Amino acid sequence: MTKAKARGYIDIREGKKGTSYRVKVRVRDKNRPTGYYEKNASFETLRKAEIWRDKKVKELDRYGIPTLDEEIEQQEKIANSRLKEIKLGELICIYIDDPENERKNIGDSKYYGLLKITSYKIANKRVSTLRKSDLDEFCHQRRYVDGVVGYTTYMDIGYIKSVIKKAGSYGVNGSIKFIEDAMQHYKEDYKKSPKAALLEFKANERDTTISDKDFEYLRDGLFKRQEHHAAKIPYLTILDFAIATCMRVSEICRVTWRDFKEDRKTLFIRDRKHPTKKNFNQEIPLIGGAFEILKKRKAEAAISPNFDLDNRIFPYVADSVGAGWRVTRQKLIAEGINIEHIVFHDLRSFGITKLIKEGWDISKVAVVSGHTNLDVLNRIYARIRPSDIVEEYDRKIKQALTQD
């Protein structure tokens, strides 16, 4: 090791996926062709970039840098397959434990998707021995045992690929070549017979419409679950809030009292889902009873000596809310009520449809729902039937006559 003063730099980069921070830590070394030894990494936040920079500078100042011979020797060790042989499930755990891949960074879908993959047979195979046949078996189980759609299985394969791609950096022996080769075969199979193919390469758009009758069934079922002596989650409040704000359940269970702008009657939602941007934040208006719900909850929460603006408004695990919804739905199905096609996320479309029926302009609906692509809202608008408009018209006339 040779010693010299390390210096760290952070470059801010603007791209299609938002802002990133590129860190370079350099030490002058006249023995190298470039004139310096360099370590670099990219991060999504400035804070993480600064922590990594400071850590590397301290390490290099303390221990020095490897000589060219030492560096070449280290690279040869990796190239000569002196890498750990571990199972895919173990590699997934290493990947998830990496601070760069924390749940907030990789998203709930990938996080829980990877956790689920660890329960399958493929997770017990050594990473270096994985072959297309292992993927075939995994895909068959997902499609025909679990009953998921082909696009979900396609996403699962993508998650596995992203983990194995990082294997070398964790000192693990593994290659993604078998996945790349397998994907070529899957795509050819899909072209020949889309219905029989194991994977689908494009998500099918949901076009489920919740009727008022279905909604009442669900509301009654959730009320019964909420009234159970062991229940802690206010399902009906969350249901009404989800419809009024068109928010996802993960967003509802994430917002804090600091995000509630009471004076403006708005709510600030951080890290919303976006097709191209990361760290996408939006402020939405609280209408349709949403403001009243939050005001009431705040009045109740503020009494507690532990009240803090950083406390979550709905301090519940999103998965638990979703599980309660699914159990309620299954009970209603067992009673002969046909609502198998409805999932919690359909409440988002239900809330949007409600606003459109009330005569809201699509551009204003987008401010509530957070959609940046109005084509999505146009497709929801297209689901409204003529009979829906007649029913809404009759309701308004009846309401007007009652007021007179």
- Residue 357 domain-assigned? yes
Could you list the residue range(s) of the whole structural domain that residue 363 is in? 212-403
Residue 204 lies in a domain: no
| Helices vs strands, H then E, count in the chain | 17, 6
Distances, alpha carbon 387 to alpha carbons 71, 211, 379, 384, 390, in Å: 73, 12, 18, 8, 5
Q: What is the DSSP letter of 276?
A: S
Same domain as 227, residue 125: no
The reply to whether 257 and 291 lie within a common domain is yes
Percentage, residues of the chain above pLDDT 90:
37
Task: For residues 136 and 166, state if they share a domain.
Answer: yes
Report residue 333 as tokens.
Answer: 């199905």
pLDDT digits (tens, 9 = 90+) for 324-373: 888 888 888 888 887 766 777 778 878 877 777 777 777 787 778 777 66
How far is the C-alpha of 198 from the C-alpha of 263, rounded, in Å? 52
Q: What is the mean pLDDT of the chain?
A: 84
Same domain, yes or no, for 141 and 226? no
Cβ pair 216, 342 in contact under 8 A:
no
* Per-residue model confidence (pLDDT) at position 340: 66
Pairing of strands 18-28, 280-285: unpaired
- Say if pTM beats, i.e. exceeds, 0.85: no
Residue 95 in this model has a pLDDT that exceeds 80? yes
pLDDT at 348: 81
Same-domain pairing of 114 and 58: no
Domain co-membership, 56 together with 152: no
Predicted confidence at residue 5, as pLDDT, reads 84
pLDDT digits (tens, 9 = 90+) for 301-328: 999 999 999 999 999 988 888 888 888 8
Regarding whether 327 and 254 lie in a shared domain, the answer is yes
Q: How many domains does the chain have?
A: 3
Q: Where are the alpha helices (DSSP H) in 264-317?
A: 290-301
Question: Tens digit of pLDDT for each residue in 123-175?
Answer: 999 999 999 999 999 999 998 888 788 888 999 999 999 999 999 889 898 99
**Residue 199, in any domain of the structure:** no
